[in-house]
Structure formats: structure tokens, C-alpha cells
Structure 1
Amino acid sequence: MTCHLEPELIEVPAGYTLTRWTRGGVSRVLVRTRDGHFAARGQIAHVGDHVVVDQVESAAEHRRKGLGRLVMRTLRSTAYEAGARTGVLVGTPEGRALYSSLGWTVCSPMTSLWYEPSDAAQ
């Protein structure tokens, strides 16, 4: 999926805190509860005027509260502020609805594979 990057209005829902930082070309966003428990996160790697979005997730008990939108909007603004103008990502089927609602478009289908060798193969 791809998206033109723009600055975004970032509003943190009541009861949550947002932290963002950049180190070594990777910008990260972390959303926690007031008590400091993990709620959501995401990161981007900067490559010239592009960024690659990775590891966007929300804790099960904090889903459907706008935190995925918060993470994506914060990453998008962070990327724009750093000079990037295009974002790319590979979205899971579950994530595609969120990304599409935020203006991301599908460029090509992707397939992933998780391989775990069995003990019998040894």
C-alpha cells in the first residue's frame, strides 16, 4: 500500500499517553495507558523522501478505540516533518481496512509465509 504524506491533526484519546522518538533513521510511536501499560505502537524507517511503515499493532483490550488511527497519523506527521512525502507498507487483511480509511491505496497484493521446521525433518 502507498500514501502521500501530509501533516496530521493528532488528538490523543482520554486515558492514554503518546510518546514518539527517532533514532538511527527509525521513528517510533508508543501509546500507553495512564498506568503505563502498552496500548499501541508503530514505527517507520526513513529512506530519502520515502518511509516504510512497520509493526503497527494495538493490544487486544485497546482495539476499536482509535489508537491505530492515532499511531498512523502520528507516524505520517513525523515522516512529513522529516522530509518524506511517500509512505509504503504491507498491510495484513485485518489492517487494510484501517489503512484504506486513512487514504492508503493498494498497489499490489502481497503474500507472507511463516515457516517453522518440524522436529521430524531433523
Structure 2
Amino acid sequence: MVEKPRISIKLLGDCDTLRRLLPSNWQVAQQMYAMMRHGDAVDPTPIPPEYHLDATDGNQGVAAFIFDSKELLAASGYAVEHAGLFVYDRIITEPDYRRRGLGRHIMAALDNRRFSTESQRFLVASAEGKALYESIGWSVVAPYSSAVIPGV
């Protein structure tokens, strides 16, 4: 059994189940959702002219960033593809830029950089993000929970 602080444990299951499985010194995080998307990518409407998208490929995966006309970061996201799985990570739209479709543009930019269209798309979403992803064709495959022994 893990006894050191700051080591996480993950479960494809709900928070209550994870909480019951662990000693009381573990701290269970907010409920998340494992999600997958099948079918074609969703192409958003054209990016508004006051924004521009930068997407890059690297050895460790792909990254996409949307900047406003003042070069302030409005949205970003990352993904990596390995063994038939394309995993999206840290998809963020900054608070002042939400509800403008920028998250959809980030998702499309990352999706367009998949090496194989056969790769299964996967992400872990917060409750807030879950609604966005469902609106563009993603489905929950399981609740996703994590816990950690807090550090001192």
C-alpha cells in the first residue's frame, strides 16, 4: 500500500467507490469523466479574425494555442498519440475568452494533427468540460476518479 505523500492513484470508477477502497488519510479529488469520440472530427466555424491559432508538432505530441490580437493566450491544449490512442490533455479556455467557440477550435486543431485517423480519441474531462465535449460528439465511457495522500 502506498504511504508516501503526493503519489496519485487513479480509478475508472466513481469517487465514492475510490473513497471506500482507501484509508482515511487519502484525499479524493472532484469527480471527472473518461470520454471517447468516434467518427469524423467536428470542424468549427472559421476562427474569428481577432484571434490566431498556432499549432506545433513535437517529439512528445502536439500543442495548439489561440492568441488574441494583443498576443494574450486565450485557449490552449495538448495531445499525444501512441499505440492507437490519441489522448487530449489540458484543454483550457481562459476565463475571459469562454463561450466564443475557442475550445472547439483547439480540439479541431489537435484532431487535425493525428497521425492515424484510426487512433481512438480519449480525454478526461471535468464536470464543466464534459458539457462542451458532449456538445461536439464525445461520450462518457466511465467515471474517472483520483486520490492522493496530501503532502506536508
The answer, yes or no, to whether TM exceeds 0.5 is: yes
Aligned residues: 116
**Aligned residue identity for 2:69:** R
2:37 equivalent in structure 1? 3
Task: Tell me if the contact between 1:5 and 1:87 (Cα under 8 Å) persists in the aligned partners.
Answer: no
Q: Which residue of 27, 40, 43 corresponds with 2:75?
A: 40
Structure (1 or 2) with the larger CA radius of gyration = 2
Matched position secondary structure for 1:109: strand
Indicate the structure with greater strand content.
2
Measure how far apart 1:5 and its partner are: 5.2
Cα RMSD (Å): 1.7
Task: Tell me if the contact between 1:8 and 1:77 (Cα under 8 Å) persists in the aligned partners.
Answer: no
Which structure is richer in relative contact order (CA contacts within 8 A, separation 6 or more)? 2
Q: Does 1:68 align with 2:103?
A: yes
**Aligned residue identity for 1:97:** A
Give ranges in structure 2 of 5+ residues lacking alignment: 1-34
**TM-score scaled to structure 1, two decimals?**
0.85
The 1:27–1:58 alpha-carbon spacing in structure 2 relative to 1, beyond 3 Å, is: same
Task: Tell me if the contact between 2:37 and 2:138 (Cα under 8 Å) persists in the aligned partners.
Answer: yes
Q: Give aligned-pair identity as a percent.
A: 27
Question: After the TM superposition, which parts of structure 1 deviate over 4 Å for at least 4 consecutive aligned residues?
Answer: none
Task: Tell me if the contact between 2:42 and 2:136 (Cα under 8 Å) persists in the aligned partners.
Answer: no
Measure how far apart 1:41 and its partner are: 0.3
**Aligned residue identity for 2:137:** G
Task: Tell me if the contact between 1:50 and 1:84 (Cα under 8 Å) persists in the aligned partners.
Answer: no
Give ranges in structure 1 of 5+ residues lacking alignment: none
1:54 equivalent in structure 2? 89
Q: Which residue of 3, 19, 26 corresponds with 2:54?
A: 19
Measure how far apart 1:8 and its partner are: 4.5
* Matches of 1:66 and 1:115, distance apart in 2: 37
2:130 equivalent in structure 1? 96
**TM-score scaled to structure 2, two decimals?**
0.69
* Matches of 2:73 and 2:112, distance apart in 1: 22
Indicate the structure with greater helix content.
1
